[in-house]
Structure 1
């Protein structure tokens, strides 16, 4: 069996809920659902789906690079939003990072996230070389 590596960020929620920011097994990296929050836990881009999406992808970019991977190794994204009618704002930010990488993806509307100011959450699957 491949070695399992859990990556944490030190968020108090990781221990309370029992999750890791990312888990690597073999050459597969699964990144937990990520929202647009800063290091102090404040929501970035309240009512701005484009900025929230961009912030999420930049956060995950840093996590992947710390793990020896990168956005170019993302093979799947799963996008959850509380307002699918504004999908183009999400798509614009996603496309700025992934227009040439083109991972498999899904975008679905959900009723809400943990905080009402959170409008989008994204999960990522990546590989290492």
Structure 2
């Protein structure tokens, strides 16, 4: 199975819930649901585009910590609290992935862990050997 590498981003819920931001096992990387938090601050409050950009920046940094990058991403799952604003989220996603084009799922959820959050994204990456 290979060595397991775990990384944290310092999000407040990581220690409370007991999870890692990302885990690499062999050439597979799983990135946990990621939101636009910076400490106790929500980056881009009331702005799904800015939140998505922040989320994807965190995901990018997490991938880099385990030896991967955005070009290794094969799937993203996007959770939004207001589907009527999906185009703002999609615009930011496209900026990061327009040439990579991973498979994507986007679903509306009732709420995220903090009511100020509008977007949460998970990612799966497969690192080419």
The farther-off stretch of 67-76 and 10-19 is 10-19
Say if 2:15 is the partner of 1:32. no
Shift of 1:68: 1.1
> Residue 9 of structure 2 aligns with which residue?
9
Paired position in structure 2 for 1:19: 19
Matches of 1:19 and 1:47, distance apart in 2: 27
Structure 1 length normalisation: TM-score? Answer: 0.94
Deviation string, structure 1 residues 32-82 (Cα, Å, up to 9, x no partner): 0000011x2310001100000011001111111121111111000000000
CA offset at residue 12 of structure 1? 4.5
Q: Which runs of 5+ in 1 are unaligned?
A: none
Long gaps (5+) in structure 2: none
Q: How many residue pairs were aligned? A: 128
Q: 2:54 corresponds to which residue?
A: 55
Q: Which residue of 2 aligns with 1:88?
A: 87
Following TM superposition, where does structure 1 have runs of at least 4 consecutive aligned residues deviating by more than 2 angstroms?
9-13
Taking structure 1 as reference, are residues 81 and 11 closer, same or farther at Cα in structure 2, changes over 3 Å only? closer
Q: Distance in 2 between matches of 1:87 and 1:69?
A: 27
Q: Distance in 2 between matches of 1:119 and 1:109?
A: 10
Deviation at 1:84, TM superposition (A): 0.4
Question: Please, what TM-score do these two structures have when normalized by structure 2?
Answer: 0.94
